[in-house]
Amino acid sequence: MSVLLLADHDNGVLSPATARLVAASSALGVVDILVVAENPASIAAEAAKIAGVQKVITVTATPIAETITNSLENLAQRYRNVVASASSVGKDVIPRLAAKLDIQPVTDVVEILSPNRFTRPIYAGNALETVEDPQATHLLTFRASAFRPAASGNTAPVESLDISVTSAAKFLAAHRTDSDTPDLATAQIVIGGGVSVGSAEGFQLIEKLGKTLGAAVGATRAAVDAGYAPNDWQIGQTGKIIAPDLYIAIGISGALQHLAGIQGAKKIFAINSDPEAPLVKIADVALIGDLFEIVPQLVTELERLGLKR
């Protein structure tokens, strides 16, 4: 059994999710990592340090869906399993690869039961199903947040692959949100803000609490759609799936698609003015009141206790 794993990276930096994917994929066999990037050397060097990685393969190309898919297609016949993160990239690439190879993918895997049996959520995360895949090659996407990261300290070899990955698409520009907060999908503490925060300026209060706790900051779809927070902060069924040790939900009522994205959270702390809000009812701890009064007091008290980062 062997695994080809597509590395998650952005802006020249390997995503912490990749170590989680390696840990999960190791249950299926030896793991090779594929890095597709314009300058893959530094990303590959980081990937080579992850325990359990046998080899890192690099392809020098603009990492858009077509070039990544073409790279995977060139290598897929060598492997029993082709794996990617259930992120925006994986959700774009794996269906394309499945169509090219005429293989049915298994997506959003949260548990590996055997080499061909997997658990994945259905019905917006309200139920789990076991899928048995009898195909000779498995195309899989894993929810990185469902797995613990692999250790580091490895020195896997790096191999450069010279293949043609021409694309009909042309890369024009990348627009990104600069942030020094932890990665949302793998953070241990996440603070989420809802549309009740009221404005982009109001989200600065959420960000301040995040910096105080060293937490990642997220938002509901309604808050993102209203322009209060950037798209890459969106948590939920149509955004990022998180599984932090602590999720602090501020001004969030708890729409079904948002609850589907936070079911992996170990503890939920809600701040809301509505005691009947769905998220308040499932929270481990809830503070009922005006978020614009509670959050500043919370920040002040945390700073007094010396928790300012």
> Is 258 within 8 Å of 243 (Cβ atoms)?
no
Q: Which of 218, 215, 220 is nearest to 189 (CA)?
A: 215
> Is 84 within 8 Å of 76 (Cβ atoms)?
no
pLDDT, tens digit, for every residue of 229-239? Answer: 998 899 998 88
Q: Where are the domains of the chain?
A: 2-160, 189-304
Give yes or no on whether 2-160 and 189-304 have one common fold: yes
Sign of CA dihedral 52, 58, 59, 63: positive
pTM of the predicted model, to two decimals? 0.83
pLDDT, tens digit, for every residue of 210-257? Answer: 999 999 999 999 999 999 999 889 999 888 889 899 999 999 999 988
Average pLDDT over residues 139-151: 93
Q: Which CATH number fits domain 189-304: 3.40.50.1220, 2.60.120.10, 3.40.50.720, 3.40.50.620?
A: 3.40.50.1220
- Please report, for residues 68, 111, 112, the alpha-carbon distance to residue 258 in angstroms, rounded to integers and kept in the order given: 30, 21, 25
Average pLDDT over residues 276-304: 93
Average pLDDT over residues 281-301: 94
> What are the E-state strand segments in 42-137?
53-60, 81-85, 106-109, 111-114, 117-122, 127-132
Average pLDDT over residues 112-136: 92
pLDDT band at 178; cut points 50, 70, 90: low
Q: Compute CA 148 distance to the chain's CA centroid, rounded to the nearest angstrom.
A: 13
> Is 191 within 8 Å of 216 (Cβ atoms)?
yes
Q: Which CATH architecture has domain 2-160?
A: 3-Layer(aba) Sandwich (3.40)
> Which residues touch 217 (CB under 8 Å, ≥6 apart)?
179, 181, 184, 190, 191, 192, 193, 203, 206, 207, 210, 229, 233
pLDDT score of 307? 61
